[in-house]
Every structure is written in C-alpha cells, then in structure tokens.
Structure 1
C-alpha cells in the first residue's frame, strides 16, 4: 500500500488501520509505504528506510520516535524548533474572500460555494480537507488563474482583485505556489534562474522594458539557493535535474524572498523529506513574523495543527467556519472533512483517530 491515507478522513484512517490489523492477525503480509511517520510507528513491526534509492537503515519503528526516524531518513540531526506562539495577527485584514462562488470548468472538478474567510497580517490560516474537494479551484481563484466572479469577491490589502490576473495580483503584493511543482510551479526544461524569473520578475525587478536582466535574474536564483540550502550545481541547472525536495525548497524560496504581503501556498511539503519540510516550516513562520498573511492549503493535519493560528475545512466546495487551532480537535476536523456541517454533530461518538 502506497500512501493509502492521503485521501481519507481521520475517522476513515482509524477504520483502515483496524482492517489492516485484522488482516495481519489472519496471516497476511503487508508492505506499507508512507511519509507519515506516526502511522509507521503505530502500524508496523519492521521498517526499511531508504534514501536516494538505497536502503540506509532497518529498525523496529515502535522503538523509535518520529524524530529519530526522520533523522535516519535524512542522515542528519533535525534542529529543535517550537512553532507554537511564534507569530500572531499583527495588523488589519490583508486578504478577504467574500462569498466566492465558482463553477468548475473541469470534468471532475469541484464547484466552490460561497467561500468566505479573512486573513490578517502575521497570521497563518490553514485550509484542511481531503484531496478533490475544491482545493485546486480555490488556489486558482486566489492566484488569479481563474476569475472570481466579481472584483469584490477577493480583496488584497483592500483592493478588489477578483477579476485581476496573476501578474496584477503580484504587483499588489500577492505570491502564490500551487500544489503541482512540475509543470505548474516550475518548468522542468528551464533553468532555476529562468524559473525564478517566471514569478519574481515583477517584485524582484528582474526585467526592464520587456528584456530580462540576466545578471539580476541569476543573482536572485543564487540567493534562493543559498538561503534555502538547495542542493544543485547553480542557477543555470535545469529544474528537472533537482530532487523533488530541493525543487520544492527552491520554489518556496522563490516566493518567500519576494517578501509578499499575502502568500497562498498549497501542499508545501508534499513529497519532501523531513529536513526539507523543517526548512520550509521555518521560512513560513519567519514570513508570518514579518507581517505576511499566509493561506496554507494542506491535506496534512499535523502540518496544519503545527503551523496555523486558525483553520477551516473545505468539503465538497464549501468552507467551514474558521476555528482557533487551540480549539480544534482531530475528531472535529475529521467530521468536517467528511461533510458534517459543524463538525460537532457526532463529536460525542467519535473516537480519537491517532492509533494507539
């Protein structure tokens, strides 16, 4: 099984694990592949850890902490970092979304239905949900890849931008990083410098009079590479030559170093190792501390609960009411992900979903 819980609610994960344990008791052998280390610790009796296509360790994961497993994965010590109480809303609302309703133009897309939320400067606002419930459509609407219906449906630092395209929104201080890094966030056959230019040419002043300033473009890419410890041969390396984690670090750095007023980022650590994830988390927290309003769209509940000040859940194109992260429980979030309107209707019956 390869990442079998990526599209499940926490309650469904609990049911899956009960089934797998029953199969194990009946004599079935199970090979379980996952980047979620607590799942490995809970479910598995033996673990094989791979790095760069080679086996680097074997252990009983029940005898290791998630941190120890992560350090085996990256062959390095993780820095101790407490993300709690590192940032707080510091100013007025920088991004306001009001009754955003969009009919998806894709065959298997999800319509957005009266999405409303607001994010203040210095705040990280999390949007959780199972894949395919409108996250892609919401990202496209916030970035300007699809129009939002009316100018006032989206306000960026008070300016109505609902009908503006991505370039205009970037001029107003918005930065955006979609889920799919290959072909959407980056062009594989282009160099890192060229990929940096694609989104940073406005805020980074990398061009003038329609011409690319190659020196400044390469300097910007080099700055991203240095600041985010991107393992590559340099700014002229093609994007497709990088590992997934290193390319993701470059793309996150490309947006962060533009010092946006608003950053919308989807699945920031999907498919990256623990070391790269830690670097990305630190960058997002530092950006929030500097006053940026951040919208974090993620399927990883641990990530949402770790980083965010407030969270909401998207299900079938509808967004729940926002809740403070200190008031959120796995049970409530799971019910909302499954389509329960309040997340409290069955809370008394829900069991904790982290397998013991």
Structure 2
C-alpha cells in the first residue's frame, strides 16, 4: 500500500472534532464532544454501549450531520455532504454492521467503493492484498456463501484498498481469531508507520492497551476522559467507561453429570457451497448444568454446525437429539417447543428482523412459549410487558420505547437478542459469539446470565472465537477445524496456547491452499 508521505504538521491534528453535539428527540447522543487524532496515531474511542461512539463516527464519516460543533480536517473546517466526500478527503470506515450485497461476489463488492478497474486486475489485487494482511479472501465467491468472519475481512480489505489517511475501525476484531487479530495489528502498525491515522473502536480492552497510545472515553454521550491505554489496566479503562468497577463472572464448579440436553451423533452435513466447509462425523454432548465451548477460526464449519443444531438445515433424525428426542429432521419451531433457544452470531437479518420492532421480534421467536397469542388474538399488553422486562433486565438502550431492530447500536441489539431468548426460560441455549461488540460491563452481564442458566440446570453450548471468553465460561472445550470437531476436554486439561495452535493450524492450511 502506498504511503501518504511525511507530514510536517507539528502538533496539528489530522482530524479534530470540536464541541460536536447531536440529539435524537429526548436523547442527547453526543454532548459537546472534543476529539483530536494526530498523524501516525492509533487512537482508541472507548465507551459502553449507548455512550455515543457510533453517532460520533457517523458524523466524522459524513453519514449524519451534527446539530452543532465543527470538524477540522488538516487544519481547515470541513463540512461533509456524505461518505463519498469523506472518502475523497481520505477518511475511510469499516462498520460493525456489514454494508455488503449478498448476491454479489467479493470482488464486485470491493469494486463498488473503488474507481473503475478491469475485474481480472481487481480480483488479483484483492487476492494479493487480502493475503498480505492475513485476511484471506477468494474474489469470486458470492457474499451470501461466506461466514460472518469472512464478510468482516471483505470490509477491512475494501477499506484498506481506498488508501486512506484516516481509517475508522468499528469493532474490527470481534469475529477474528487470535492469529487473524495479530495479523491485523501488524497491518495497523504498518499503516501508522506510513503516517496514516487510525480511529479504533473496541470493547476488547486488552487489545486496546497493546495497540493504542491515546484514547478518548465517552459515557452517556459526553467525553469523560483522555488517557494513554498502555499506562492503564483493563479494569481502570472499564471503570472510566462504565463509571464503576466491573465484577468478574462468578462461576461455580459445574458437575456436568446431569441429564443429556443436547446429543450430537456422527453428524455429517455436506455444505451447499463448493467453497464452504462440510461437517464430518461431528459428535458431542451437552448436559444439564454444563457449558461446553467450541473454538475455531471463522469458515471452519461454525455456520454449518449452528444451522444443523437450530433446525435451519435438516440432517438424519438421530444425529441431533434434544432431551432424548431425535430432532435432526425437525425444524426450528419444533426444537424451540422442546425448550431450546438459538442465538446466532449475525444479529441483523438472522438474530433479528431489521425492519421489525423489538416487540415484533419478541413475538416471532417467543410466541409459542409466552402465550402472546390466545384464541387467535394477540395480547399486546403482555407483549409490551415482556419487552419492558427485557429492556430493564438487560439494559437495552434506545431512544424509543419500541424501535425497529436496525435502530439499535450493535451492542444494544446483542443485549436484546440474548435477553429475549434467556428470559424465555430455555432448557438449552446454543449461542454463537455471545458478546460480540458489547462493552465490558455488558459482556460480563451476558456471560453471567449464561452461567446462571447453567447453574439452574440449563445446558449451554457456546461457539466463539474469543478464547478468553471460552476459558472463562466453559466446563469443556473442543475445536472445530475443517468441519471436524476435536474431543471436548475439561478446561483444566487445556491451555489457550494449545487451543490457539489447533485453530492456527486450520488457518495455515487455508492460507496455503492453491488459488483457483
């Protein structure tokens, strides 16, 4: 990637935000926020869910206009008419929620953000650049065939290919493996060394401490602190964000000898995508009172496994059993009626219908359990009460009482989806990436909710790329690699290094696969 050149700017910021304010009805999302990002700096923007981070970066990227305040770009006032103008000035952004067209290929999605170029030449560039940054992509694959992690790679590569002066990254490592995260960090350090700047939004405070030397902390729409994260602890950063100490998840020893809630026996599932990952002889169980974790790099069969367990894809009847009943050939409704809940990693479009209100999303997934429809009549009062309880218990923040799902920030939407299913009192929960994109306080609460469910004789299966999360929660951990599942061994018999090596081996095999 070509550098931007040496800048003799002294102490002049590349970008400065001065007294930025934005109001949505009664909600003051940004309250006179100041921010300065200097050339060659990786600057962290921290805050709990609903703190105003998303609103601020959308203003900096030209998606929305501030009610008051000013953006200063390279020493001059800048009024952005939209993202195209922001990109023209050298501001690029990777969003937490993907902005991809599912029916187009990887290279076609990349082409939409770049000047016209022959497809063959652009495909070669995408292939080369993606591998240089450890974010492997096959240019000709359709997006709908890709995992969430692979879709995130498209967003990052597309943004890097715009040759930006300022790169805004919103939760870029939320679906990356430790190996991929290390590769991204090397990329960002190279970008910084070229004189470029990065505005880095993450709830993973340890990675912020490693990567960033300056940070702005928001709380309830206001700037509350500036600091050097490398001189802080994760606990002190979390305290700045939330305003109080974050309590560790309280995990009691699980016996794991309860009744088998989920049994999977020699599950074989051919992927409909020739570039996808088929499941091969996958067998494991999850018992009442137990949390089992499945680690793995995105694209190694996680989506296929979740689909088979949830009933979105059928298998032979006896390959999946819930409380002893064969359900492999049954759909998701039948499995829910047996007390199962399914929380996918992709929030919008899979976990929640974007255009539906929150109450409508509750109704879609919980109508059979909660009895919202009685004798053909919808009990709207009961539905409103259920939504209010979810919002209160899981601290789901939004400017309206019952907004559409797409109006929520990523972290608040995740809290809503997890809360909706947990408050349905399931006997079995299968969850993928449970704390993707949520702040430290909310992550601790969501994890504690899963632990509490297990301690009340529920069974929990967690599919995650976050090894810290898996080791914090799980009684047993297995690794999914190229569609095959390793034995689920007790947590105490494994280390992060041993799990990481098994995950990394899958990545190395993908990286050395021949390019078609």
User: What TM-score, normalized by structure 2, do the two folds share?
Assistant: 0.60
Q: Which whole-Å deviations, capped at 9, do the CAs of 1:249-290 have from their partners, x for residues lacking one?
A: 111111111111110011111111122212211211111111
The separation in 2 between residues aligned to 1:18 and 1:236, in whole angstroms, is 42
Matched with 2:215 is 47
The separation in 2 between residues aligned to 1:318 and 1:250, in whole angstroms, is 32
Matched with 2:410 is 244
The separation in 2 between residues aligned to 1:193 and 1:21, in whole angstroms, is 44
The separation in 1 between residues aligned to 2:178 and 2:395, in whole angstroms, is 34
* CA displacement at 1:142 relative to structure 2: 0.6
* CA displacement at 1:31 relative to structure 2: 3.1
* CA displacement at 1:117 relative to structure 2: 0.7
- Point out the more displaced range, 186-195 or 4-13: 4-13
Determine whether 1:275 maps to 2:405: no
Larger Rg: 2
Matched with 1:295 is 461
Verify the 8 A CA contact 1:246 1:276 in the aligned structure 2.
Answer: no
Structure 1 residues 196 and 333, CA, compared in 2 at 3 Å: closer, same or farther? same
Please, which runs of 5 or more residues in structure 2 have no aligned partner?
Answer: 1-166, 507-516
The separation in 1 between residues aligned to 2:503 and 2:372, in whole angstroms, is 42
Q: Which whole-Å deviations, capped at 9, do the CAs of 1:153-182 have from their partners, x for residues lacking one?
A: 001000000010000001111111111111
Q: Helix, strand or coil: the match of 1:231?
A: coil
Matched with 1:66 is 234
The separation in 2 between residues aligned to 1:62 and 1:308, in whole angstroms, is 29
Q: Helix, strand or coil: the match of 1:246?
A: helix
How much is the aligned-residue C-alpha RMSD, in angstroms? 2.7
1:231 to 390, 397, 412: 397
The separation in 2 between residues aligned to 1:240 and 1:15, in whole angstroms, is 31
The separation in 2 between residues aligned to 1:284 and 1:23, in whole angstroms, is 39
Q: Which whole-Å deviations, capped at 9, do the CAs of 1:195-230 have from their partners, x for residues lacking one?
A: 111111111122134443222222221221222222
1:137 to 299, 304, 311: 304
The separation in 2 between residues aligned to 1:258 and 1:7, in whole angstroms, is 27
- Point out the more displaced range, 163-172 or 96-105: 96-105
Q: Helix, strand or coil: the match of 1:283?
A: helix
Determine whether 1:320 maps to 2:489: no
Determine whether 1:100 maps to 2:296: no
Higher RCO (CA-CA < 8 Å; seq separation 6+): 1
Number of matched residues?
338
The separation in 2 between residues aligned to 1:235 and 1:188, in whole angstroms, is 16
Matched with 1:351 is none
Structure 1 residues 176 and 22, CA, compared in 2 at 3 Å: closer, same or farther? closer
The separation in 1 between residues aligned to 2:396 and 2:172, in whole angstroms, is 30
Structure 1 residues 5 and 239, CA, compared in 2 at 3 Å: closer, same or farther? closer
Matched with 2:334 is 168
Structure 1 residues 238 and 22, CA, compared in 2 at 3 Å: closer, same or farther? closer
The separation in 1 between residues aligned to 2:187 and 2:352, in whole angstroms, is 40
* CA displacement at 1:21 relative to structure 2: 6.7
* CA displacement at 1:77 relative to structure 2: 1.3
Structure 1 residues 202 and 337, CA, compared in 2 at 3 Å: closer, same or farther? same
Matched with 1:217 is 383
Structure 1 residues 13 and 271, CA, compared in 2 at 3 Å: closer, same or farther? closer
Verify the 8 A CA contact 1:228 1:249 in the aligned structure 2.
Answer: yes
* CA displacement at 1:110 relative to structure 2: 1.8
Q: Helix, strand or coil: the match of 1:91?
A: coil
The separation in 2 between residues aligned to 1:108 and 1:54, in whole angstroms, is 46
- Point out the more displaced range, 137-146 or 226-235: 226-235
Q: Helix, strand or coil: the match of 2:452?
A: helix
Matched with 2:107 is none
* CA displacement at 1:108 relative to structure 2: 4.2
1:105-184 to 2 correspondence within 5 Å? 105-106=272-273, 108-148=275-315, 150-184=316-350
The separation in 2 between residues aligned to 1:11 and 1:51, in whole angstroms, is 32
1:260 to 405, 408, 426: 426
